[in-house]
Structure 1
Amino acid sequence: MNELTDLTELRDLFADKPHPTADRLAPARTALLAEARTQRRPRARAAGLRRLMLAGGLVAAMTAGVIAVQTFNASAPASAAEVLRLAAAAATETPWPEPRDDQYLHYERIAETRAEKGVPNVGPRHITGEIWESVDGSRPELWWHKPSKSRPQGPEYKELRTRCPGRGGPAYADLRGWPTDQEQLRHKLAERGNELHRNKDAAAAVWSGAVGILGTPVPPKLQEAIFTIAATLPGIETEELKDATGKSGIAVTRVDGRFRESLIFDKTSYVLLGGQELALGRGRELWSVTRPQITDVLPAGSTSLKRRGCR
């Protein structure tokens, strides 16, 4: 057989078949990507069949009068839901040790608030903080504020903070007690989402709760459960965003009215890098959180610092 004969036979084979659409191609694409990730060398016959199938798809597009060219990275996820499923797996692949209640989580949090075009009286605000967070929230926490890369002339200082009852997010030890059962956790996330933004529908409240909770370290098993639930929510989409450090990642975004909330993941490992919250009329905040280390005590000399009271 020569190439001309091949194309003629393929044209006849697919002449009476429906034209490919995104909905029809999505399952095949997902299966093909899943097979590519196994990194097994296909046998010659299978490879030849795959080329025949791809050629058939091209001929079907040609008979429709257009040629649609799409290039895919073999390791790229097929959908926002798949990104979140990969993130769920990544959360437990390299978990950190389980801390005791009397220990501290030591990590860095970077946040940057930017005014959007036409938004008055917003920022910019830049926070680069090295944090020693009390696992059970019962001890003063150390925040070391440092100049950000975008504002190297900014102030640097340390302060001890007291966790205020009923304010801020739950302590790490509290999160450790959250259920990983899907229905129970969905309810907890919706409660948290409604605390942050009132008058949201159920899906929007769950998504907002997830974004809000993940702004600080979360136990790996709970992260896995949160990402698994988030993958089932309607209205999620992927885009490319940079986190607060300037690193480009793959983001999963959900839009609800004037709120656009995103989680940003590493493009290769799918480890959570940070997130973005964009609200019309209020500007944009980017944040990132590093993987925590576990320590027994605060750095030397920090206990002599003036303690900031609960406000």
Structure 2
Amino acid sequence: MKSDLSILEEFGANLAPAQEQPPAEVRHRLMNAMRQPARRPSLLSSVRGVRLAWRIGMPTVAAAGVALALVAGYLPDNTRGRPAPPGAAAQAGAAPRALPDAGQVLLLAAAHTADTPTMDARPDQFLFIDSVEVQSSAGSHRNRSGKVVFGRPTVSEPQRTRTWLSVDGTRDGLVVQETAASPVRTHIDGCKNRLQAETIDRPESTPKIPCTPEPAYQSGRVPTDPDKLLAYLYDLAAKGPTWVSIGAGQDGMPRGFVRLSDDQSAFAEIAQMLSMNHLPAVQEAAFRAAARIPGVEVRRNVADASGRTGVAVTRTEAGTREELVFDPTTYTFLGSNLIAADFDLKDAHVVRRPDGKIGRLTLRVANPKPGDVISKYALLRVAIVDKVGQRP
């Protein structure tokens, strides 16, 4: 059996220059499917470079400086006569009140979500998601010795994406991503009769494998109780830990790896979960659970992918800062960002290669500077529609 390091070496030798990304909603569905431990084999089964060659159940290889998108859910503004949140008084001419801290922002968002009505949805309908994404990519080329060399990350223009996901998870969905040339349309194979294409965007050319429907807007396996949800998130982190590479030797391969803490993994999982589950009960529980994760901080005047400015609840570790962005007055959830940060190794436990189970491996093939955008995602609207391609 090949060692983890030899697989990494093969990965580095065969990595092609970055090509176009799969639409974000497809990536997130695949990443969500990867949370099923029974389907997760060992290290590095898929390699970036071929568009949507992302297999269900395989671990993700993502590059800091190459887009790793996290999606946040959109919650319509519906205060239902609740008292104005902190900061609103200043807009009305009254004396300003102290702005809330990170935990208070999350609890205010949860209170706002509690007043958001659940949309009526039949099993045969579709969840429509209108979003904007900003991605960074690391330009790369092969030097004279054939090794891949990565340059400074470049950030894309905001890109509009419209997605249709099956309410009950059994029907085929669609992603339409606007590009400068022409829209890119990606089929999403539904889980029909407990079977689904192994590569969900290529149902005609890949074999069918057993699956469990992933409802886009129905109760599922995600708990709606904050305590149970937090336990669920930490269980995922323990069963499928994330490892981040550090530095690179003369051969371009990582000098070592650091495992993300369960706290950081749980916080990142909440951002990812919100991209897939727009049920108000789940989102309310997610905000209350996030408020209990140690190390969260608040940042002011943070822009999402569409340019809206809000207040962000953040957590930073291993060279990246996760940001959950909220409207500064209503605390509607606007979107999420992934931003490069200082990689402090002072108290880090560095290993030569990951040990035990691996849920996700992040290879830092580029060298982003603190503050560089890795990815941004903003949700503009969600709605229930009758068929794929229909807009509300």
TM-score after normalising by structure 2: 0.51
| Conservation of the 8 A alpha-carbon contact between 2:112 and 2:330 | yes
RMSD of Structure 2 on Structure 1 (CA): 3.6
Equivalent residue number for residue 220 of structure 1:
280
Cα deviation for residue 265 of structure 1 reads 0.5
More helix by share: 1
Equivalent residue number for residue 109 of structure 1:
131
Cα deviation for residue 216 of structure 1 reads 3.6
Cα deviation for residue 243 of structure 1 reads 0.5
Residue pairs, 1:269-308, within 5 angstroms: 269-279=330-340, 281=364, 284-299=374-389
- Separation in structure 1 between the aligned mates of residue 84 and residue 128 of structure 2, nearest angstrom: 39
Task: Report the residue type matching 2:234 in the other structure.
Answer: A
- Separation in structure 1 between the aligned mates of residue 221 and residue 327 of structure 2, nearest angstrom: 28
Gaps of 5+ in 1: 1-33, 41-71, 148-152, 301-311
- Separation in structure 2 between the aligned mates of residue 35 and residue 269 of structure 1, nearest angstrom: 8
- Structure 2 residue 103 is matched with structure 1 residue 77: no
- For residues 201 and 36 of structure 1, do their structure 2 counterparts lie closer, same or farther at Cα, with a shift above 3 Å needed? closer
Equivalent residue number for residue 145 of structure 1:
177
Cα deviation for residue 192 of structure 1 reads 4.7
- Structure 2 residue 277 is matched with structure 1 residue 232: no
Task: Report the residue type matching 1:218 in the other structure.
Answer: H
Cα deviation for residue 263 of structure 1 reads 0.3
- Separation in structure 2 between the aligned mates of residue 170 and residue 191 of structure 1, nearest angstrom: 19
For this pair of structures, how many residues does the alignment match? 230
Give the number of the structure with larger relative contact order, counting CA–CA contacts within 8 Å between residues 6 or more apart.
2
1:267 counterpart SS class? coil
Query: Rg larger in 1 or in 2?
Result: 1
Cα deviation for residue 191 of structure 1 reads 4.5
- Separation in structure 1 between the aligned mates of residue 340 and residue 214 of structure 2, nearest angstrom: 24
Cα deviation for residue 157 of structure 1 reads 3.7
Which residue, 155, 161, 168 being the options, matches 1:129? 161
- Separation in structure 2 between the aligned mates of residue 35 and residue 128 of structure 1, nearest angstrom: 32
- Separation in structure 2 between the aligned mates of residue 271 and residue 297 of structure 1, nearest angstrom: 27
Task: Report the residue type matching 1:197 in the other structure.
Answer: T
Equivalent residue number for residue 143 of structure 2:
none
Task: Report the residue type matching 1:172 in the other structure.
Answer: A
- Separation in structure 2 between the aligned mates of residue 246 and residue 264 of structure 1, nearest angstrom: 11
TM-score after normalising by structure 1: 0.63
Residue pairs, 1:1-311, within 5 angstroms: 73-74=96-97, 77-114=99-136, 120=151, 122=153, 124-125=155-156, 127-147=159-179, 153-163=180-190, 164=200, 170-173=214-217, 176-193=220-237, 195=240, 197-198=242-243, 199-239=259-299, 240-279=301-340, 281=364, 284-299=374-389
- Separation in structure 2 between the aligned mates of residue 36 and residue 242 of structure 1, nearest angstrom: 20
- Separation in structure 1 between the aligned mates of residue 120 and residue 237 of structure 2, nearest angstrom: 26
| Conservation of the 8 A alpha-carbon contact between 1:176 and 1:222 | no
- Separation in structure 1 between the aligned mates of residue 340 and residue 152 of structure 2, nearest angstrom: 14
Gaps of 5+ in 2: 1-82, 90-94, 139-149, 191-199, 201-208, 244-258, 342-363, 369-373
Task: Report the residue type matching 1:101 in the other structure.
Answer: P
- Separation in structure 1 between the aligned mates of residue 224 and residue 102 of structure 2, nearest angstrom: 21
- For residues 178 and 123 of structure 1, do their structure 2 counterparts lie closer, same or farther at Cα, with a shift above 3 Å needed? same
2:107 counterpart SS class? helix
More strand by share: 2
- Separation in structure 2 between the aligned mates of residue 166 and residue 129 of structure 1, nearest angstrom: 29
